[in-house]
Amino acid sequence: MSNNHLEQLEPKEVFHYFAEIADIPRPSGNEKAISDYLVRFARQHHLEHYQDELNNVIIIKEATAGYETAPPVILQGHMDMVCEKEPDSPVDPECEGLDLFVEGDYLSARGTTLGGDDGIAVAYALAILASDTLKHPRIEFVCTVSEETGMEGASGIDVSMLRGRRMINLDSETENEMMCGCAGGGRVVADLPVQREKMTGDGYESLTVKVTGLTGGHSGTEINRGRANAVILLAETLAALNKKFSSQEFRVGSFAGGNKDNAIPREASAEILIAEVRKPFLEKELEEIEQAFCARYGNADPDIKLVLESRPADGVVFTAETAEKLLAMILEIPNGVQNMSSDIPDLVETSLNLGIAKTAEEAGNETMQLHYSLRSSVAESFEKLAQKVIRTAEAYGAVTGRSGEYPAWEFRKDSELRDVMMPVYEEMFGKKPEVTVLHAGVECGLLAEKLPGLDAVSIGPDILDIHTTEERLSVSSAERMYQYVLRVLELMK
């Protein structure tokens, strides 16, 4: 899919590369194509480059005249994106290029996520690396894979060739913020064994109940906005129906929702069997539950819908015990914000998000698999929460595993890099940027472990509703922040 119409946007060189990478599918875990594109770029521009087995890429451009003795600067971002799509979208970002469009000041993708997180970092870096006119120290561009699913790229990358100890991470989404610290995190997956049986006899109707219309969002930056989690709402709905109807009247046949552990699920669905004579009562119950959900979530999620759809019947359902265990486990394990920071106002300290519920099969045994994303700026709190999730899940008979853990990026009270960047921002825009610590994870913590003494700051243009199909990038902000990065590099002698 061609996105050449972006050439009209300024800065042209940035949106040229943004359009090119938007044509390349780059879901987390499948970055070979975009990684090879970066290698081709480096070769075309005769730049030193490295590509590892994970498909991480490092591209190095030597200092321009007059900057030969200046300390190198690392520019850093990630090449993967969260691939979400509207149910009726003809574009599947997992395997197709995006259909970009501009409306007013905003760049978006029709029916899918935009990939501004973190495509704008890649576009900025390539524009800088391709230029023959900019002034800058040695540039070391570090572009990682699988940031969105656990930072496996940053965890496994070899950075021994890097000389820089000043790093500008380009993975922030608010123009007037200068991020200087973030939470650590990781994943817990729980596999609950599933038993099934076939309901015999006539008089049953097979239906699908869907929770839909939710806002969703990033499980780090937007976990404190009071938005509903579709998987949790579906579990609440089915648990209420289990209480209302007997096991001979109502049964659950499947349960699924969400597809990214770091995105708040927007939709979830379950296949159910209901005695035909009880269907009118089912419809009434769902209306009441929907009204209760809308009242509870108010402005944060005003469009929650519970939808019933007919489906072909096979009569195979979870046993009553399996359904009861699954729903009870989901509702007993905590979800959302757990603690707020006592040191930084309005900062979430510890949270978790149930991002995926799906069936899985291993060695012929079916399980219900739940994926949780955990975050905390306090290592002890993270560990306590992980152990709580594990103990609760295992008490219901689930098998658990941990993966993708990454350290917090600790705030530096004294930062020479920040001391350079702050006055430049104030000079260019007439105000001071807000220095922040973020609840979402960025790769600075992992890279700081590999590069002792690393002084890092994370910045970026305004990107709204990341990880959702409403994601949009402010074009004017992208231009301002690009000019800001160029000015910072020019002053870093």
Confidence of residue 2 (pLDDT cuts 50, 70, 90): low
Indicate whether 1 pLDDT > 70: no
| pLDDT at residue 48 in the model | 98
**Catalytic residue status for 410:** no
Q: What is the mean pLDDT of the chain?
A: 95
Nearest alpha carbon to residue 470 among 1, 106, 25: 106
Q: Are the C-beta atoms of 82 and 263 separated by less than 8 Å?
A: yes
What is the domain partition of the chain in residue ranges?
4-183+408-491, 186-406
Confidence of residue 315 (pLDDT cuts 50, 70, 90): confident
**Any idea which fold 186-406 has?**
Alpha-Beta Plaits (3.30.70)
Q: With residue 487 as reference, give the H or E element that holds it.
A: helix 475-491
CA dist list (Å): 142 to 72, 77, 98, 139, 272: 13, 7, 24, 10, 48
Mean pLDDT, rounded, for 112-121: 97
| Rounded-to-integer distance, Cα 387 and Cα 217, Å | 26
| Architecture in CATH for domain 4-183+408-491 | 3-Layer(aba) Sandwich (3.40)
| pLDDT at residue 150 in the model | 78
N- to C-terminal Cα distance for the chain? Answer: 42
Nearest alpha carbon to residue 183 among 403, 436, 372: 436
pLDDT digits (tens, 9 = 90+) for 37-69: 999 999 999 999 999 999 999 999 999 999 999
| pLDDT at residue 162 in the model | 98
The encoded tokens of residue 213 equal 């219309």
Residues sharing a CB contact under 8 Å with residue 165, sequence separation 6 or more, in sequence order: 71, 451, 453, 454, 455
Phi and psi at residue 154, in whole multiples of 5°? -65, -30
Indicate whether 397 pLDDT > 70: yes
| pLDDT at residue 260 in the model | 85
Confidence of residue 446 (pLDDT cuts 50, 70, 90): very high
Q: Are the C-beta atoms of 438 and 447 separated by less than 8 Å?
A: no
| pLDDT at residue 35 in the model | 98
**Catalytic residue status for 147:** yes
Residue type, 375: R
Q: Are the C-beta atoms of 252 and 270 separated by less than 8 Å?
A: yes
DSSP 200-227: -SS-EEEEEEEEE----EETTTTTTS--
pLDDT digits (tens, 9 = 90+) for 230-241: 999 999 999 999
- Of 102-111, 252-261, 339-348, minimum mean pLDDT range: 339-348
Which is it for the CA torsion 46, 129, 113, 2, positive or negative?
Answer: negative
| pLDDT at residue 154 in the model | 95
- Helices (H) and strands (E) counted in the chain, each on its own, are 11, 26
| pLDDT at residue 438 in the model | 85
pLDDT digits (tens, 9 = 90+) for 137-196: 999 999 999 998 878 999 999 999 999 999 999 999 999 999 998 899 899 999 999 999
| pLDDT at residue 460 in the model | 97
pLDDT digits (tens, 9 = 90+) for 248-270: 999 999 999 998 888 999 999 99
Which is the catalytic residue, given 147, 271, 290, 471?
Answer: 147
Residue 452 Cα to chain centre, angstroms? 28
Which is the catalytic residue, given 80, 99, 117, 261?
Answer: 80
pLDDT digits (tens, 9 = 90+) for 202-227: 899 999 999 999 999 889 889 999 99
| pLDDT at residue 106 in the model | 97
186-406 has the same fold as 4-183+408-491: no
pLDDT digits (tens, 9 = 90+) for 422-437: 999 999 999 999 998 8
Query: Where do the H-state alpha helices sit in 23-75?
Result: 32-44
Dihedral of the alpha carbons of 387, 388, 391, 394, in degrees to the nearest 10: -100
**Three-class SS state of 88:** coil
Query: In the chain, pLDDT over 90 holds for what percent of residues?
Result: 85
CA dist list (Å): 52 to 149, 157, 378: 18, 7, 32
Indicate whether 362 pLDDT > 80: no
Query: Where do the H-state alpha helices sit in 376-455?
Result: 379-395, 416-429, 444-450
| Rounded-to-integer distance, Cα 447 and Cα 449, Å | 5
| pLDDT at residue 345 in the model | 83
Nearest alpha carbon to residue 339 among 329, 328, 349, 347: 349
